[in-house]
Amino acid sequence: MTETIRYEVDADGIALLTIDLPDASMNVFNAQLIKDLDTCVDKVLADDAVKGAVITSGKPAFIAGADLNMLGAQAGSKQTPEQAFESAFGLNKLFRKLETGDKNRKILAKEGTKPFAAAVNGLALGGGFELVLACHYRVIADDPKMQLGFPEVQVGLLPGAGGTQRLPRIVGIQAAAGAVTTGKPYNAQIALGLGIANELAPAADVVDRAKAWVKKTSSAIAPWDKKGFKYPGGAGAMHPASVQTFVGANAMAQKQTQHNYPAVQAILSCFFEGGVVDFDTAIRIESKYFMKLLADPVAGNMIRSLFINKQAVEKGSLRPAGIERKKVKRLGMLGAGLMGAGVAYVSAKVGMDVVLLDRDAASAEKGKDYSRNLVKKGVERGKVSKEKGDALLERITTTSDYADLKDCDLIIEAVFEAEDIKKSVTEATEAVIGKDIVFASNTSTLPITGLAKNFTRPHQFIGIHFFSPVDKMPLVEIIMGEKTDDATLALALDYVSQIKKTPIVVNDSRGFYTSRCFGTYVQEGYSMVQEGVKPALIENAGKMAGMPVGPLAVGDEVALDLSYKVGMATRKALGDKYVVSPADGFVEKMVVDLERFGRKNGKGNYVYPTDGGRKYLWPGLGDHFPVADDQPTLDEVKTRFMVRQAVEAARCFEEGVLIDASSGDIGAIFGWGFAPFTGGPFSFIDTMGVAEFVAEADRLAQAYGARFTPPQMLRDMAEKGECFYAKGDTRGRIAKAA
C-alpha cells in the first residue's frame, strides 16, 4: 500500500504491516519509512474493521536501525532549539501513537487501545529495536544469530525514539544502562529472560504467533501507562537501589569515557531524569538529549569515520574500477613469527589454504601453534565448533621448502626487518611462484619501492601492512610502491575484503602513514620526559586525550631498543636530511646507558614486577630526567599530543602519502587508536577549524620546536576558508597524486 510497507488485513481483522524497503537488502529507518509507518498506524487506528496489527519485515533482518547517512547529514546542523525538537520528536511521537492510540492518559488507562504486536523475524537494532519495544507484544525469532540492541552510542548518539525510556521500564535501569551505554545487543534467550520478548518462536512462525495474540486481545496497554506502574529495581533520586546504580554508573562511565564521549552521560541522564516523570514527559527529555548529541561535532565525526567511511572502504570504494574481482585461494606466508602466524590464522579462518614457510620446520610449526592456541580457546569458549576449528588448522601447511609455494596465488612476506634477509627471501620465492603472482610485504619500516627492487616485476609488488595482534586489529594499510599497478592493488583489496578487515591505501613513504604518525605520539611523550614533565601527567593526559594508552606505556610495548634501531636506520638512510628530535636523546639514554628496553626485558618506562603485580612508572625516570618545577597544564599536554599527530597526518596528506582525508581518519583510528571521538586527525582539524589549528600549531612550534610547524597546505586552506570535509562530502578532500 505504501512505498516501504505492505498493508494487508486478514479475515480476522488483523492488519499485517510488512516493512520492505525497495531496492535495499536491509530495512532502515529513513524519512520514507517513517512517513509510511505513520500512514499505516493511522489506518489501523481509524479503521473499525481492523482489530489490531502485527508488524514484521519482508527481509531477513527486521530493521537494522536508522539511516546513518540521513543522521550524518543532520549532525552538527544549525537549527533553532524549537526546530531541533520538532524533528527529533517525530519518531517518538509516532511510536507513542502506536502505543496509546493517541488517547489521553485517563481514557487509555480505562479502555486500552488497539493491540500492536511485533513479529521480529531477524535482527532489530536502534530504531528497529525501539519500534519492537513500542509494540504491546513481542514475538522474537528463536535464532542464534538474533540481535536486539542499541548501537547508537558507538556513533556518539542515543536511542532517541523511546529506547532510553522503554528498555529501563522493562528490564530495570541497571541492566538497561549496561546495554545502552555499550551498544552490546541481546540475544533471543536473554531477551526472553529479561521480559523483552513475550515469546520466542521459529522465524517462520513469528507472524502467526503474533497474530494469535492479537486475535485474543481486545485491547492493550503498555505497563507504564497503567496506574501504579513501578520500575523494576526502582528509579529516581529517592530509591536506594537506584541511587547506588547512578552513583556507580557515573563513576564507571567517567572512567571509561574520560569525559570524551558525551553520549554516555546523555544516556545516563535520560535514565535518571526520565525515571522520575511520566512516560510522555520522559520521551520529550530523551528527544532533547538526542538533539543535543546530534548537534555536537562528536556524533557527526563518529558517524562519518566509524560508520559511513569505514563501511565504504570495506565495500570497495578504494578499488580501481574495471578490474575483475578475484579470490585468493592459497596464500603463501613467508615468515612464521608473530605477524606471519597471525596472518596465517586470519586467512585460514575465512577458508583460505595457507602455506606457512619459515627457515626450518620447527619455526614454521611454532607459527602454526598460534592458530592452534586460538582455535583451542575458541572451542573452549564455545565460539567455534571442534570440526570447524580442526578444518581451519588443516588448511595451514607448514614448510621450510620454497617449492611448496608454487601453487599460491598471493605471497605475503613478514620476515625479519633487514634488507638483506628480505632480498634473499624475495628472490627465493620469485624463483618458484607463477609469473603473474603478486608479492606483498608486511614491512612496517622499509619503503616498498626499495623492496620492490628485489622483485623482477615491481608492478606486482605491494605493501600489505598488518597490525599486531593480527586477529584483533581491524586495519590493514596497503602501500603502493612507485610502480605498483592497479590490478595488484585490486587483488590486495580483494584479499583484505576476504579476511574481513578494513583497508586504507597509501603511497610509499618511510613509516608509510600509520607508523609514521603513531611514532609522533610516542616521541612527543619522550620529548616531554626529557623536558621534565611529570611522567604520570604525560600518561594520564595521553589517555584523557582519547588515546587507548599513554605514550610511555605504548613505547614499552613497541620496545625502546627497537625505536632506537629504527631511529638509527632512519638517520643513516636520510643522512643530512634527518631532523633530530628531543626524543632521540631520551631513547638513546634509556637504551644505551640504562638498558631499559621496555616490557620485553622487564624494565622500560615502567617497572614490571616479577611477582605479577601491576606495572608502575619507573621512579628512576625522575632521577635521569629531573622533573621541572613548572608543569604544563593538562590541556597543554593533551593539545601537544593531538596537534603533533594531526600535523604529521597533514604532512602525509600534503606529500601525497594519503589519497584522501577519510583514509587518513580511518587509518588513524583503527591503525593506532587515534582518539575515536574526534573522528580522526582530519576531522579533528576541521572541528577545531583549519585556521585555528594552524595558529595553535604555530604557537606550539614556537614553544617546542619545528616538528609542530603546519604544512603549507594547511595555511593555504585556512587562507581560502577550506576544510577537509565540505558539507555533504563524506569522503573528504582528495590529496594530490604522489
Partner 1 sequence: MTEAYIFDAVRTPRGKGRKDGSLHEITPIQLATQQLEAIRDRTGIDTSFVDDVALGCVAPVGEQGSDIARVAAINAGYAETTAGFQVNRFCASGLEAVNIAAAKVMTGEADMAIGGGVESMSRVPMGSDGGAWPMDPSVAFHSYFVPQGISADLIATIYGHSRDDVDAYAVESQRRAKASWDANRFSKSIVPVKDVIGMNVLDHDEFMRPETSMQSLGALKPSFVDMGNFGFDNVAIQKYPEIEKINHVHHAGNSSGIVDGAAAVLVGSKEMGEKFGLTPRARIRSMASVGSEPTIMLTGPSFAAEKALKRAGMSKSDIDVWELNEAFASVVLRFMEALDIDHSDINVNGGAIAMGHPLGATGAMILGTVLDELERSGKSTALATLCIGAGMGTATIIERV
Instruction: State in angstroms the smallest separation of the CB of 637 from partner 1.
Output: 8
Under the criterion CB under 8 A, does residue 539 sit at the interface with partner 1?
Answer: yes
Phi, psi of 586 (to 5 degrees): -60, -50
Q: Half-sphere exposure of residue 311, counting CA atoms within 13 Å on the CB side?
A: 8
Nearer to partner 1 among residue 174 and residue 265 (C-beta):
265
275 versus 567: smaller Cβ distance to partner 1: 275
Distance CA 343, CA 366 (A): 14
Report the alpha-carbon distance of residue 657 to residue 681 in Å, rounded.
15
238 binds partner 1 (CB under 8 A): yes
Q: Is 373 in the site for partner 1 (CB under 8 A)?
A: no
Beta partners for residue 309, in sequence order:
none
Per-residue DSSP letter, 731: S
Which residue type does 732 have? Answer: G
Pairing type for strands 116-120 and 137-141 reads: parallel
Q: Which three cell numbers stand for residue 398?
A: 607448514
Could you say which of 152, 273, 430, 524 is catalytic?
A: 152
Length of the chain: 738
Over the Cα atoms of the chain, what is R_g?
Answer: 29
Q: How many C-beta atoms lie closer than 10 Å to residue 565's C-beta? A: 15
- Binding mask 286-305 toward partner 1 (x if CB under 8 A, else -) reads --------------------
Cell readout for 378 is 575458541
Cell 640504562 sits on residue: 594
When binding is defined by CB under 8 A, the residue of 237, 362, 592, 734 that contacts partner 1 is 237
248 near partner 1 (CB under 8 A): yes
Stretch that binds partner 1, among 141-149, 327-335, 395-403, 538-546 (CB under 8 A): 538-546
Closest C-alpha among 182, 345, 657, 451 to residue 668? 657
Residue among 152, 85, 162 at smallest CA distance from 131: 162
User: For partner 1, which residue of 537, 566, 685, 714 counts as binding (CB under 8 A)?
Assistant: 537
Number of H helices, E strands in the chain: 31, 18
Which 612-671 positions form the footprint of partner 1 (CB under 8 A)? Answer: 616-617, 631, 634
> Of residues 99, 130, 648, 696, which has the active-site annotation?
130
**Cα atoms found within 13 Å of the Cα of residue 345, Cβ hemisphere only:** 27
Is residue 456 a contact residue for partner 1 (CB under 8 A)? no
**Counting contacts by CB under 8 A, is residue 535 touching partner 1?**
yes
Q: Could you tell me which stretch among 236-244, 339-347, 688-696, 701-709 binds partner 1 (CB under 8 A)?
A: 236-244
| Choice between 296 and 648, CB closer to partner 1 | 296
Placement of cell 636520510 in the chain: 574
Q: Which of 247, 573, 574, 734 binds partner 1 (CB under 8 A)?
A: 247
Q: Which is nearer to partner 1, 94 or 264 (CB)?
A: 264
* 130 classed as catalytic: yes
Q: Which of 24, 251, 579, 703 binds partner 1 (CB under 8 A)?
A: 251
357 φ, ψ (degrees, to nearest 5): -110, 135
Rounded to the nearest whole angstrom, what is the least distance from the CB of residue 236 to partner 1 in the complex? 9
Task: Please identify, among the stretches 156-164, 244-252, 494-502, 508-516, the one whose residues bind partner 1 according to the rule CB under 8 A.
Answer: 244-252
Residue with cell 612496517: 444
Question: From edge to edge, which strands make up the β-sheet containing 396-399?
Answer: 396-399, 353-357, 330-334, 410-413, 438-441, 461-466, 475-480, 502-507
Q: Which of 540, 570, 601, 709 binds partner 1 (CB under 8 A)?
A: 540
Q: Which stretch binds partner 1 (CB under 8 A): 12-20, 243-251, 519-527, 724-732?
A: 243-251
Count of alpha carbons within 13 Å of 159, Cβ hemisphere only? 35
If one counts every other C-beta atom within 10 angstroms of the C-beta of residue 270, the result is 27
Beta carbon nearer to partner 1, 132 or 268 = 268
The smaller minimum CB distance to partner 1, of residues 289 and 725, is found at: 289
- Most distant CA pair in the chain, distance: 88
Minimal distance in Å, beta carbon 270 to partner 1? Answer: 9
Instruction: Tell me the sheet residues that pair with 479.
Output: 463, 506
Minimum distance between the CB of residue 246 and partner 1, rounded to whole angstroms?
Answer: 4
Binding track, positions 255-284, relative to partner 1; x by CB under 8 A? xx-xx-----x--xx-xxx-----------
CB under 8 A: which stretch of 160-168, 536-544, 594-602, 685-693 binds partner 1?
536-544
Of 268 and 437, nearer to partner 1 (C-beta) is 268
Tell me the helix, strand and coil percentages in the chain, rounded to 5: 55, 10, 35
Considering only 77, 254, 373, 424, the residue that binds partner 1 (CB under 8 A) is 254
Q: How many residues bind to partner 1 according to rule CB under 8 A?
A: 34
**Which residues lie near partner 1 (CB under 8 A)?**
237-238, 243, 246-256, 258-259, 265, 268-269, 271-273, 534-537, 539-541, 544, 616-617, 631, 634
Q: Which residues are catalytic, by number? A: 130, 152
